[in-house]
Structure 1
Amino acid sequence: MLLGPFRSSSPSLSGLLWKMPWRMSKTRKMRQRLRLKAVDDVISTVRASGMDVHALHDALALPVEHAMPPKDKYTVFSRTSTGYRKGIHKVPHFTKITSRTNPAGF
């Protein structure tokens, strides 16, 4: 068993441990659309139930999946990225944040 700088680890034995493709596959895009549609269904169900909460008003202001351009479905605004856009597959826990709206012009 080696200790120090020459010990074996997953990255040193096999290269990168988590490989990120530079673009999303068709199936990843399909799953993203299904997630967006599922969120839209939940919002419409809560709206139909007659609940009146502040979070519902914020959710109703978001665009629905079929009204969003592909640029907004699959990328998010990022100040540090070239072109100010970053693929959602590179954003950790993307479905937990509300990022359907981006700054104007981006």
Structure 2
Amino acid sequence: MFGPFRPSFVAQGGLLWKNPFRMSATRKANVRKRLRDVDQVIAAVEASGVRCKALDEALVLPKESEMHARDKYTVFSRYGLHHRKSLHKVPKFTKKTQRTSPPGF
């Protein structure tokens, strides 16, 4: 009960979410792969001849190969340090479409 494996209470300072400070190389590779997969889907839908507003907005976004590393692995955050936030700290970041930053950031 009082040994090294006793349960720690969150209210007493235990970590609830164990997010690493930096993204690992594996996570970065998975992000790049996910971006390339999205690019392939957008290209396939465009080639099929379907037109819609969502496709027009997606065609304006830069491709994975055209993006800066800053935009691949971080997103704009109003409250973050230097207005950037690491991508793995954003909930459901795979569903966000933030490939570009606001002007000036």
CA distance in 2, matches of 1:10, 1:40: 44
TM-score (norm 1): 0.86
1:65 maps to: 64
1:16 maps to: 15
CA apart distance, 1:104? 1.1
Specify whether residues 57 and 11 from structure 1 end up closer, same or farther in structure 2 by C-alpha distance, changes over 3 A only.
same
Runs of 4+ residues deviating >4 angstroms: none
1:55 maps to: 54
TM-score (norm 2): 0.87
1:91 maps to: 90
Unaligned runs of 5+ in 1: 1-7
Amino acid at match of 1:101: T
Aligned residues: 99
SS at match of 1:23: coil
CA distance in 2, matches of 1:10, 1:33: 37
1:5 maps to: none
CA apart distance, 1:22? 1.2
In angstroms, what is the RMSD of aligned CA positions? 1.8
2:4 maps to: none
| Percent of residue pairs bearing the same amino acid type | 56
